[in-house]
Amino acid sequence: MAGSLPATLAARVLLSDAARRANRLGKLPRRAGWQPALPKTATLAQDESKIDHMRRKFIPALIIGTLALPIAGNFGLKLIPIPPALLRPPVQSISLLDRNGIPLREARVAERFSRELSLDEVPRHVINAVLSAEDKRFFRHHGIDWLAATRAAITGLSHGRITSGASTITQQLVKISERRPRTLRAKLIETATALRLEQLWSKDQILAAYLNRIDFGNLNIGLLSAADYYFDKPVADLSDAEAAFLAGLPKNPRKLNPHVALDAARNRQATVLHRMRANGWIDAARFDRAQSEALALRPPARRFRAPHFVELVLQQPQENPHAELKTTLDLRLNEQVEKILRERLSQLREQNVRNGAAVVIDNASGDVIALVGSENYFAPGAGQVNGAWAQRSAGSALKPFTYLLALERGATPATIVADVRTSFPAADGFYRPENYNRRCYGPVRYRTALASSLNIPAVKVLLAAGGPEALHERLRLCGLTTLNRPAEIYGLGLTLGNCEGRLLEITNAYASLARLGEYRPWRVLTTSPTVARRYSRPELVWQIADIMSDNSARTLAFGMNSALRFDYPVACKTGTSTDFRDNWTIGFTPEFSVGVWVGNFDGAPMREVSGVTGAGPILHAVFDYLHANRGTSWYRTPAEMVERNVHPLTGKLLADSDPRGVREKFLPDRLPVPESPADYDAAGNVQLGPEYADWFNSAENGLRDHAILASTNGELRITSPLPGSVYVVDPDVPSTRRIPLAANGATQMKWESKSLTCRSEPGADFALAADGDHRITVTDLASGRHAETWIRIRSL
């Protein structure tokens, strides 16, 4: 018995310790005054019996308590929330691609560049590089690398400071997902959260989330963005050396920035490679190759191709923007258009031309396949102005829509209009347009007037086709959003482009002509829906296209060999604004519509540069490229169209064999009337009406051998105001209160109106404006003959 005393005493001591621990766990009921003590020798057997009883009673409790600790800890982990940021997809920047998948630009979101990738896209050697750099036992621990933590603690104590980290990839993921002050409490929370995350997510999920959220420096979040930015390649194409280089950067992205601390980044890469070798993840040969590989780092600049187009895309409203946006742009075509524009503008420097823009639209879809907004986006000053979207004076580019309105109202390409100087009533008095070359040509067919871009005929055609209101409505229907004022504010000058327009919108309006009267909105994203809307009869729009492609018809103004002459059919039209501040050329084939603007963003005038000499050669070169590389075609003549012989000065039908005639195309129900003897004098000359009188007697008349001025027998005719004219009076502009009065056929005249006051001053007759409908009469005082007109006046 005495020999077993030390063992017994030890057992009792152990039991006492166990009892105290059990008591702390609430398993041992306390008795007041109870204190463990050694029994006397005389009662040792009794004490041993008690000890044995206690062992049987309390040892199981101790075991249960010990087992309860991890169970309780595990239950406690379930109460720890996962950071909300991990439950959402990572914020991604927007990657814009051309229609063939070529990257254009990556637009950052939240001041970062980030694109998500799946773990399947990451090769094994890249994963090994990341694990070697950050957490080599990632697939063996449960969120905490106790071995690394112990090593870091021992090393830190021996050096008196932290010399190495022990955070696992899981811990780092928690840390970057929910930023906290770097305190001991924050570290404990992150540790517990990492343990919980490992319970909920697979290792692959955790690693993928880490690779998509870790910072690689220079605003690059995630491995995909880093590989693209530093090496201009996808993650799948990274070499061992490149993978190790990237894997080393997250340790300290600022201090390891390759653009400012390349040596430090290379040293870190070497460390990662040595770890990969030590871990057995690369053999000696791969290690040597990786160490000797020369890295080809991209220059520190973001990819930014087709910049004006890209900015236009980013300005478009998007309900659910995707991380990757496939645009309509054809980058290779856009680069060719950039080159053409740059080369042509360099030839116009002496004419004070500093900028230009160009647009190409695919007619079938409305896709913008090329858009160049200036000669050089990166040039100081106005380089970033987007000339394709800037509002500029439209010039004569809108005339085709006026003539289409006229055809819809029964006119034909052979309809005659008097190209003679005419004063038109306007809100501020007379509106007296001039042709571009300040010359008039007398009687001209609609075909010639449109193809040669004559201004005076265009105004007269607009009057006959419904006036400014009809054209205003049609242009808005065709997508011109810049017409934001009432039609009467623009007046008759609308057909000559006294409004502002955007190159992209005007080009897309021409694309609706290319579709033979079907409007479709332009688009810059392939996913944007487009709905077509027909607004005119295809056969009438075909006639407009036929006129615009007729080089012979435009010879009157542009000559036979202008920039608008092609070896294949192209419908095109020029436009030049006042003082040569803007010039345009826009054209189309069935496949493509091309628009070009040339001018100066500050509004400075060019020196004698018109649409045909400025923008025209650019459009010609773009179409030549399209024709050679994409192919262009032309429209079939509508089956119902017929061709007839007409007189060029009267527009009337001639016999098919009559050599005086010109060929013209008509719809069967729109044939002009045949010629009649009354059209000619006895010598066969065409008789022109009185409206040609001033022109006929001027030096501009080139028809003296073919026409005469018909006798009017002194016909009295009012030339201002024309019947049905509408005047808008602005109370703040006194001149608008005077309605000019003019007539031909008398030397002494008297003007009268029952509702207006008519007055005469030296050199001018006028009526004082008043709201309402009014009739005005003029009387020839010598013969007593009368002529009458009517007008409408309203105030702003």
Q: Beta strand 738-744 with 582-588: parallel, antiparallel or unpaired?
A: unpaired
Tokens representing 220 are 């690059």
Tokens representing 345 are 């503008």
Q: Name the one residue in this structure whose structure tokens are 């920035």.
A: 257
* Per-residue pLDDT at 178: 84
Q: Which of 23-27, 80-84, 210-214, 376-380 has the highest mean pLDDT?
A: 210-214
Per-residue pLDDT tens for 705-736?
Answer: 999 988 655 678 888 887 877 777 767 667 66
Percent of residues, the chain, with pLDDT higher than 90: 64
Structure confidence at residue 322 as a pLDDT band (50, 70, 90)? low
For residue 421, what are the contacts with CB-CB under 8 A and spacing of at least 6? 432, 434, 440, 456, 694, 695
Helix (H) / strand (E) element for 488: namely helix 487-490
**Mean pLDDT value across residues 670-677:** 95
3-state SS record for 323-347: CEEEECCCHHHHHHHHHHHHHHHHC
* Per-residue pLDDT at 506: 98
* Of 71 and 650, more confident: 650
**Mean pLDDT value across residues 500-506:** 97
* Per-residue pLDDT at 74: 61
Alpha helices in 259-330 (DSSP H): 262-278, 284-292, 307-315
* Per-residue pLDDT at 714: 63
Closest CA to 622 of 592, 584, 590, 583: 592
- Assess contact for 196 and 80: CB atoms under 8 A: yes
* Per-residue pLDDT at 10: 33
Tokens representing 46 are 């009794």
User: Does residue 479 surpass a pLDDT of 50?
Assistant: yes
Of 96-105, 298-307, 736-745, the least confident = 736-745
Would you list the DSSP string of 563-618? TT--SS--EEEEEE-GGGSEEEEEEE-SSEEEEEEEE-TT-PPPSS--TTTTHHHH
User: CA 499, 504, 505, 510 torsion: positive or negative?
Assistant: positive
Structure confidence at residue 26 as a pLDDT band (50, 70, 90)? very low
Tokens representing 54 are 């206690």
* Per-residue pLDDT at 382: 87
* Per-residue pLDDT at 75: 58
Per-residue pLDDT tens for 110-151?
Answer: 678 888 899 999 999 999 999 999 999 999 998 888 887 787
- DSSP annotation of 86 reads H
* Per-residue pLDDT at 39: 47
**Mean pLDDT value across residues 533-554:** 97
Per-residue pLDDT tens for 30-68?
Answer: 434 444 444 444 455 555 566 565 555 555 544 544 444
* Per-residue pLDDT at 198: 92
Helix (H) / strand (E) element for 56: namely helix 44-77
Q: Which of 146-160, 304-318, 475-489, 605-619 has the highest mean pLDDT?
A: 475-489
User: Does residue 3 surpass a pLDDT of 50?
Assistant: no
Number of H-type helices and E-type strands within the chain: 24, 30
* Per-residue pLDDT at 35: 47
**Mean pLDDT value across residues 591-616:** 90
User: Does residue 11 surpass a pLDDT of 60?
Assistant: no
Q: How high is the mean pLDDT of the chain?
A: 87
- Assess contact for 274 and 266: CB atoms under 8 A: no
Structure confidence at residue 577 as a pLDDT band (50, 70, 90)? confident
Alpha helices in 294-437 (DSSP H): 307-315, 331-346, 399-408
Would you list the DSSP string of 166-232? ---HHHHHHHHHS---SSHHHHHHHHHHHHHHHHHS-HHHHHHHHHHH-B-STTEESHHHHHHHHHS
Q: Name the one residue in this structure whose structure tokens are 């959003």.
A: 481
- Output the pTM of the full model: 0.77
User: CA 617, 622, 623, 627 torsion: positive or negative?
Assistant: positive
**Mean pLDDT value across residues 524-528:** 93
* Per-residue pLDDT at 14: 34
Scored b (16 or more CB within 10 A) or e, 32-63 reads eeeeeeebeeeebeebbeebeebeeebeebbe
Percent of residues, the chain, with pLDDT higher than 70: 87
